[in-house]
Amino acid sequence: MHELSIAYNIVKIASAAAAEAGADEISAVHLRIGALAGVVADALRFSFAIAAEGTPLANAELMIEEVPVTVFCPTCNTEVTLPNPRLFRCPQCNQPSGQIVHGRELELVALETP
Amino acid sequence: MSYEAKRLIEIRQGVLSKNDQLAAELRSRFHAAGVFVVNLLSSPGAGKTSLLEATMRALLAEYRVAALVGDLATDNDARRLARSGGLVRQIQTGDMCHLEADIVARHLEGWDLNELDLLFIENVGNLVCPSGYDLGEATRVVLLSTTEGEDKPLKYPSTFATADAVLLTKMDLAEPVGFDRAMAEENIRAVNPLAPIIATSARHEGGLDEWLVWLRERFKAQRG
């Protein structure tokens, strides 16, 4: 359960950004989380509620955009999105491709004020 | 301030960017000192410590070897590893289920990296949490033991997909536990078509030969 430590990281970065922007309340936190980031969204929401207590983020909602796995397919010479993160095969040519381009993201994109 | 209209504050920063930055600094230090660093990941009980003990023993005549051993509690693993004769330091993580770059950096204090050739970092036994944390390693090795299910790679793709090599451990137990090696390899291949799959047995003479060959090759490749 490393989601709690991730939640504390989010609160730390977001609190600093909110303070810098002069915002004393945040209503939403936008995140991008890759399918291979090893983060469970529900566990993160639960952890975030704990980590955000007593901060300007206490009432903020986590808005999570899931990033699918994208690999580079050497056969097709292009980036392709995997329909299934448990099968690293190019959906176009069906050849194995393991060069991960996207899907490991864990990014704090933006904050919203009420 | 609180009465102003709703607005968006852009951040666009990796949540683990501080760790990534520290890991990049560690990687530069390791590179400058010529140390080849291996991050070992697996579930608890997959045989990281046994593999490491036998690996260090086998390499000590040739190389200056050290290990950092992550664990929630106890220093049993470090005491076991110290028997190999290598330099060993325990990292007790308390409640943390993974290692982070700053913990690694702190536990390197007092060691002269220039006096080392290989450094193994035994991560906390866990197939989920450690995968997102770069430790500055040159290579990430994931273990799958024959006593686990063959479908572990499909259950934990974030760890297996990012491995540079996958070791099948406890091969000496493959038969008694009915390990289906072809199935395990197929599942590893499904999430990681590129990493070499290396069968090992830490208990048997010659059981690490293929792994040691791979390690030496990678070490030499880094040294250039």
Parallel, antiparallel or unpaired: strands A106-112 and A28-34: antiparallel
Helix runs in chain B, H state only: 17-33, 48-59, 76-82, 101-107, 152-155, 157-160, 181-191, 209-223
Residues of B in contact with A67 (CB under 8 A): none
Helix, strand, coil shares of chain B, percent, nearest 5, are 40, 20, 40
Question: How does strand A106-112 pair with strand A99-102?
Answer: unpaired
| Successive 10-residue mean pLDDT values, chain A, 114 residues | 92 97 96 95 96 97 97 96 95 95 97 96
User: Does the domain formed by A3-112 have CATH 3.40.50.300?
Assistant: no
- List the structure tokens of A37: 């980031």
User: So what's the ipTM on this one?
Assistant: 0.93
Quote the CA–CA distance of B164 and B160 in Å, as a whole number: 9
Give B2's pLDDT tier (boundaries 50, 70, 90).
Answer: very low
- pTM score of the predicted model: 0.93
Radius of gyration (C-alpha) of chain A in whole angstroms: 17
Written as six digits, the tokens of A111 are: 């904050």
> What pLDDT score was predicted for residue B165?
98
Instruction: Using CB atoms, pick whichever of A1, A9, A110 lies closest to residue B10.
Output: A110
Work out the minimum CA distance from A54 to partner chain B, whole angstroms.
Answer: 17
When CB atoms are compared, the residue of B7, B10, B193 closest to A97 is B193
Closest CA relative to residue B4, chosen from A25, A7, A5: A25
Query: Which tens digit of pLDDT belongs to each residue from B59-82?
Result: 999 999 999 999 888 888 888 888
DSSP string, A40-97: -HHHHHHHHHHHTTTSTTTTPEEEEEEEPPEEEETTTTEEEE-S-TT--B-TTT--B-
Q: Give the minimum alpha-carbon distance from B223 to chain A in angstroms, rounded to a whole number.
A: 24
Q: What is the pLDDT of residues B84-142, one digit of tens each?
A: 888 999 998 887 889 999 999 999 999 999 999 999 999 999 999 999 999 999 999 99
Domain residue ranges in chain A = 3-112
| % of chain B surpassing 70 pLDDT | 98
